[in-house]
Every structure is written in structure tokens, then in C-alpha cells.
A = this chain, B = another copy of it.
Amino acid sequence: MKNKLISVSLPTIKRLPTYLNVLEELKVEGKTTVSATDIAKRLSLIPIQVRKDLSATGIVGKPKIGFEIEELGKAIKALLGWENDRDAFLIGAGALGSALLGYNGFEQHGLKILAAFDSNPDICDTEIHGKRVFPMEKLRDLIERMKVSIIILTLPAEFAQEVVNKLIGTGIKGIWNFSPVTLDVPKEIIVQNENLASGLAVLSTKLTERNNG
């Protein structure tokens, strides 16, 4: 069981959500089955890669027909752990934090942002996109009382570590880190670093190559 899950490669996991998007499109179009070839076409991938990725779900397709869209979608969600909601708090309700509070797509992905926290008294006890903003002082207490397991961290780099220190021992299991720093956490807490600059680096490098090439 454990081995099964761990054996799915990271690149595959990152592609799986895009397959889910395609499946949603296909449902809207009234389709009930889809081939790896079709999915590949819509995502500009090669069919072999899609087939290999989908094989990680354990779902078997039918030659000449493909996969049951409904069944495949459920299997991908199960593999990603997106079947059940996880409760999350967001820390740092600045520009990026506010944007994430307003993005409804996360709930489809099993992530439910219950509330936000910020040290700025001007926005404390207000609501942003319908989500309450609490002062930092209430963070530990509310995490424990509400048994929140995920933190979305959208703080300026210089404050990130100090706030993360407060999270240790609260039962937090994962941190989705948008602050551009490497966090120092005990190994039982999983950190997923998100770095917009990486994507920009790829784009601008390619543009530079194109110009000079």
C-alpha cells in the first residue's frame, strides 16, 4: 500500500490535475469515455506519457474505447487525496494571500480555507472574500481547537520563519509555502514550496534564447 503510493513519480503527480481539468471539459461536452490519445491532444502531450501517468491510478481502459471519464476522475482524485476536504488556515492576507482567499477552485481540490490570519490590525476582524481575518494571537488556539492540518503561508520572506515556529506542536501536518524562503521545520511537517520566480525564470530564459538564437 505504502509502496504503491510512493511509487508514483512527482512529475506524474504534477500532471494529474491537468488531466482532471480535461475530464471536466469532456463531461461538459457530454462524453462518457476518453482515450489517452484524446487527452494528450488537448494538453499537447504525447499519448504514451498520458497512458503511463494514468496507469498510476490503477484504472484499466478498454482497447479502442479508452477510459470511463467518471471512474478515471474519481481514481485521480483518490490518488491525489482530493476526495475528502482538508481544513486550512491562510497566514498573511496581503495581495497574494487575499487572492488565494478569493480563489474558489481549491475546494474542488479538497482544500477548504476556513479563515485567514494577519498581524495588521487594520484588516483583523474584517472579511476578505467572505473569509474572516483573525489577529495572529489567535492562531495557535484556533488551529488546535479546529484541528486544522494545513497552513497556506503567504507572508513576506522576513516574517515567515518566525510564524512557522509558532506552528510547531499544534498538529499542523503540511505547509503550502508561498514565501520565498526555505523553512526550517521538524521532519513530520511537510512543506511544499511554491515559487513564482521559477516560472518567470523559465519564460525569460526561453525568450532570451529565442532572441539570441
Using CB atoms and an 8 Å cutoff, list the residues of chain A in contact with chain B.
Answer: 1-2, 5-6, 8, 10, 13-18, 20-21, 42-44, 79-82, 86, 94-96, 98-103, 105-106, 109-111, 129, 149-150, 157, 173-174, 176, 180-182, 190, 192, 194-210, 212-213
Contacts and interface: CB of A to CB of B under 8 A. Distances in A.
Contacts of A209: 2, 5-6
Contacts of A81: 204-205, 207-208
Contact of A17 (B43, B150, B198): B198
Given A197-B17, A212-B1, A212-B2, A206 B174 contact: yes
Given A95-B98, A103-B96, A80 B157 contact: no
A207 B173 contact: yes
Give the dominant DSSP class at A's interface.
Answer: helix
A86 B2 contact: no
B86 A174 contact: no
A180 B86 CA distance: 22
Contacts of A95: 98-103, 129
* 3 closest Cβ pairs, A-B complex: A99-B99, A95-B102, A81-B208
A136 B192 CA distance: 36
A149 B203 CA distance: 12
B42 A202 contact: no
A176 B203 CA distance: 7
Contacts of A149: 207
Nearest to A183: B44
A80 B100 CA distance: 28
B196 A194 contact: yes
Contacts of A94: 102
B103 A204 contact: no
A190 B207 contact: yes
8 contacts: A18-B182, A44-B182, A80-B201, A80-B205, A95-B98, A109-B197, A110-B204, A174-B204
A59 to B, nearest CB: 17
